[in-house]
Amino acid sequence: MNHLESCGPVAGSTLEGGAALLRVLEECGNNQSELARRCNVKQPHVWKWLKAGRVPTERVHSVARASGGKVLPHELRPDLPDLFPAPEFQAVAA
């Protein structure tokens, strides 16, 4: 268990964004090089994101795409709701 997993996510925090980043990494086979390839960056960038517990704003969308849609931009940067708002879901009328 790493330091992000041992603390549970706190709503709106970078810890929550770090947990989302770990989920993206899982989608890439827990392979930093694969995540880097999907985001068109070098592996040390991914390592830096993991160490910081967050993705730079300019990379949020490419990291979200790397998850195959399983992690959304607002989950990666919950501390920036104006830039990455959570989608609003509407109930379907019966």
Is 86 inside any structural domain?
no
Domain that holds residue 19: 3-76
Per-residue pLDDT 10s for the chain (94 aa) are: 444 444 444 444 457 889 999 999 999 999 999 999 999 999 999 999 999 999 999 999 999 999 999 999 999 999 999 999 998 876 666 6
We report the CATH number of the domain holding residue 36 as 1.10.260.40
Is 44 inside any structural domain?
yes
| Total domains, the chain | 1
78 touches 12 (CB < 8 A): yes
Cα–Cα separations (whole angstroms), residue 93 to 65, 70, 88, 90: 30, 26, 16, 9
Is 70 inside any structural domain?
yes
Cα(86)–Cα(59) distance, rounded to whole angstroms? 17
Q: Write down the pTM of the prediction.
A: 0.78
Nearest 5°: phi and psi at 31?
Answer: -115, 110
